[in-house]
Chain A
Amino acid sequence: MQTAAKITDDMKVPSKSFWHKMPIIAFMLGIMCILYWVTGFKADPHRAMYGYLFAFICVLSIALGAMFFVIIQHLSRAGWSVVVRRIAEFAMWTMPLFVVLFLPIAFWAPDIFPWSHIETGDVILENKASYLNMNFFMVRSAIYFAIWLLIGWWFYKTSVGQDQGNRQEDTRKLWTLSAPAVILFALSLTFASFDWLMSLQPHWFSTIFGVYFFAGCFLAGMAFITLMLLGLQAAGILTKTVTFEHYQDLGKLMFGFTVFWAYIAFSQFMLYWYANIPEETEFYMHRLQHGWEYVSYAMIFTNFFIPFFFLLSRHVKRNKLGLALFCCWTLLVHFLDLYWIIMPNYGAHGLAEGAHPPHASIHGNDLILLAGMLSLFIAYVSYFVARKNIVPIGDPKLIESLHFENA
């Protein structure tokens, strides 16, 4: 049995590579988009902040998906994924960026979250005011970020610390601490999804909502990692390290989670549709009117049937173009899913008798801001790519990953 892993040239980013320019280009682009968005913000801050929340959650969900990927690799002692894990570690350790990006949400929270002003006579909201109030909301948000910063920082630091080649024993620590990490991650992600998404419609509730958000996060994270790998390979990096075998496994995971997302979405919808209790169907009623019905029906196809049949075949999972198309599509429809969760709430609260909420629409400004935040995120990740080892070269299971083949 071979016990030594060969460090090859393709594990480095060549000094002339485009990837060295990527951080600055993406950063400039991101700043430009955000500045453009600010002009729209001045015109209608209320609407713009809904777009801000949307863009923030979209990009954050990628980082959280990557974080789960990292934790679960350690938890399951995976060997195959070592060569792709570092990209996920980069994506997860962008968490400081999200702390900064969250500040405007914290500032404008009373404007975004309708439970911040309880109308007299709203017994339901009065009953849960001990949970849905601004102070506790801020404390909880701080706790979520504290957990994610802690997990992101420690798992990143420990993995990078192995690169010098003398900290292999740390793998055992990574294994041990991945177990408590996954519990903290699950609880923080669940309550974050309750606070930042579900409470936008404060009377509505669903026990599965955290799982629903998690399924989307993981899909987005996987799609991003795969796209990064494809992008690096297009620049001649990692060409010998990451093989079709790794791509096929990433594809299998994404395929599985496409089905899992649909399963969770169906469970939530079907059970509420079947029982037909007004306080529960409210969420779907809202999204089957005023133009949102087209989005709702389309999502059955865009988020399930199309990706399902597209990625079913083994050949597509082992085809770079096919996989790239799938990943772009998955990210887009994941963003659509979040848009569909967040945006129908805009202008839907405190309406006068007989008044209608605004018709479904996509604002250019929302998309510009999404592009901006995504660019900042990519700038952050590619900053790591240009400066750090893009493969965990000191990981004792690197050799297993390099020689990995689907049986």
Chain B
Amino acid sequence: MVSKSIENMPEYVGNTHRGDLVLPEDVVKREELIRGNPTFHDITETVCKMAQTPFSETHIGWRVGFAISLSLAIMFFGLIAYLIWEGIGIWGNASPVFWAWDIVNFVFWVGIGHAGTLISAVLFLFRQKWRTSINRYAEAMTIFAVICALVFPGIHVGRIWVIYWVFPIPNSMEMWPNFRSPLLWDVFAVGTYFTVSLLFWYVGLIPDIATLRDRVKSRAAKIAYGIFALGWRGSMRHWLHYERAYLLLAALSTPLVLSVHSVVSFDFAVAQLPGWHTTIFPPYFVAGAIFSGFAMVQTLVLPARKWLGLKDIVTMKHIENMNKIILVTGSIVGYAYAMEFFIAWYSGNQYESFAFINRAFGPYAWSYWIMVSCNVISPQLFWFKKLRTSIVVSFVISIFVNIGMWFERFVITVTSLNRDFLPSSWHYFSPRIFEPLFLIGSFGLFFTLFLLFVRYLPVIAMAEVKSVLPQANPHEGHHS
């Protein structure tokens, strides 16, 4: 028996056959990723403009921003020097809260450093071509965020002159780090992630650096770009190797996107402390990291596309897609919060239940509700197309998410520690002046690096964006 409806079907389903079979355009056709029909040359011109501007003509906005960021970064290094001189005592950490802003800032920055590799590697494997407009600075952001993150475990060890003890280096004292410690796994996980992300970013940059090398006027710049372009000539063979390397690095980076924040979550989850020790931590931390990473990309890209004239390359579609990812990962984070709460009750364990009731209604309830409203409630506004395609709303929510994700780490770390098993040692932790200054200083370092990147390197992956233009498709215009 042959299905009836097939018999009745016309031979063709499509808008070329019959009037009554008009297919909805926006469903059939993929939206153009780049607006305004630019040529290959237009893309090069737009992206290289900033890097080719002589320093004397640099926009005043960039100069002011750079001056502020650099000052803050210098303050950061000054503070670090003072910390090493004076010791960890300058912070408010006190029994039982021995871990506070330092680890919070570390996890916060590592989390932000997730979007770049996710966009470049995971979205690449999923054939999400829209990523080409945002991958370059997302990767740059990743690298700078990981640099900021690495500072904190580096300085909070106290005796920084023996920081090499975290590495398993053979030594005459036969002293080894504890291989069962997740802090050591962190060293490997974040170190690997940083190395591979840097390689990935750099490999992607090579053809674009070569473009700059060929375009800049000053001899010094030519030499500088020339060194990093590694003799790129754009030959067929070069491209072949390049594509192969890119695919391999994407495949290698994908498990790293998951592993880094999973290992960071182990820092907490392997402990027996209620509020830290729960099995959903690894995937929940990964989702949270992607969530915060995309929020930070959004925070950076919304002003950048305006100031650098990239509105046709980073279009509303890109912004909307990123908002959708923020909605999805924000909801996954909400799911994890709900599971933690439900299982804390379901476990029948009074310490587990206490830890969560204390979070929501204890002395730090304010931070818990900041976290919930920023991370779970605010992204839900993106259910409405009107709101997720609004620049202002996107920017405001991205800031909310940044704040919320910082508070998430604060809630996890501090609320679980401040009321431990011994009520006589309970203590309300408050930071001293130095903690906020360290956080602000790390933002200074981050923006210093980011502004240098925006000024001297191509902020858009030109070669990749060109590959998604309609004229790059050899079949374009042929109706078969």
Contact = CB atoms under 8 A, between A and B. Distances in A.
Contacts of A210: 339
Interface string A234-264: 0000000000000000001000000100011
Interface string B18-53: 001101100111100000000000000000000000
Contact of B2 (A12, A203, A268): A12
Contact of A4 (B15, B272, B348, B383): B15
A131 B281 CA distance: 24
B1 A267 contact: no
A287 interface: no
B386 interface: no
A143 interface: no
A205 B335 contact: no
Interface string B122-135: 00010100000000
Interface in B115-170: 125, 127
Contacts of B270: 270-271, 274-275
A386 interface: yes
B283 interface: yes
Contacts of B266: 270-271
Contacts of B347: 205, 279
A4 B16 contact: yes
Contact of B348 (A13, A123, A166, A272): A123
Interface stretch (B6-14, B98-106, B204-212, B304-312): B6-14
Given A12-B2, A123-B348, 12 more contacts: A4-B15, A6-B11, A12-B6, A124-B348, A169-B24, A171-B24, A206-B279, A209-B279, A268-B279, A271-B277, A394-B9, A407-B127
Nearest to B334: A183
Contacts of B17: 4
B14 A267 contact: no
Contact of B349 (A279, A394, A396): A279
Interface in A363-407: 386-389, 393-394, 396-400, 407
B66 to A, nearest CB: 39
A234 to B, nearest CB: 20
A259 B255 contact: yes
Contacts of A389: 3, 5-6
Interface residues of B, number: 56
A123 B331 CA distance: 34
A211 B27 CA distance: 32
A117 interface: no
A2 interface: yes
Contacts, number: 153
A43 interface: no
A315 interface: no
How big is the A interface, by class?
35 or more
A351 interface: no
A183 B13 contact: no
Contact of B9 (A124, A168, A386, A393): A393
A264 B278 CA distance: 13
A2 B335 CA distance: 43
A3 interface: yes
Interface of B: 1-3, 5-6, 8-17, 20-21, 23-24, 27-30, 125, 127, 255, 258, 262, 266, 269-272, 277-283, 331, 335-336, 339-340, 343, 345-349, 383, 475-476, 479-480
Give 7 closest A-B pairs by Cβ, nearest first: A4-B14, A124-B348, A207-B280, A208-B279, A4-B12, A274-B270, A267-B282
B272 to A, nearest CB: 5
B28 A399 contact: yes
For B281, B348, B383, the residue with the greatest tally of chain A CB atoms inside 10 Å of its CB is: B348
B9 A1 contact: no
A273 B277 CA distance: 12
Contact of A7 (B13, B23, B271, B277): B13
B28 to A, nearest CB: 5
Given A164-B5, A279-B349, A7 B12 contact: yes
A373 B403 CA distance: 51
Contacts of B11: 6-7
A153 B27 CA distance: 23
Interface in A269-310: 270-272, 274-275, 277, 279
B12 A11 contact: no
B20 to A, nearest CB: 6
Contact of A2 (B30, B282, B339, B480): B480
A19 B282 CA distance: 45
Contact of B6 (A123, A279, A393): A393
Contact of A207 (B13, B16, B125, B343): B343
A331 B57 CA distance: 65
A268 to B, nearest CB: 5
A183 B28 contact: no
Interface string A1-29: 11111110001111100001000000000
B202 to A, nearest CB: 23
A165 interface: yes
Given A208-B279, A275-B271, A15 B28 contact: no
A407 B246 CA distance: 13
A12 B7 CA distance: 10
A190 B334 CA distance: 14
Given A205-B346, A271-B269, A389-B3, A263 B28 contact: no
Contact of A388 (B3, B258, B349): B3
A183 B14 CA distance: 33
A341 interface: no
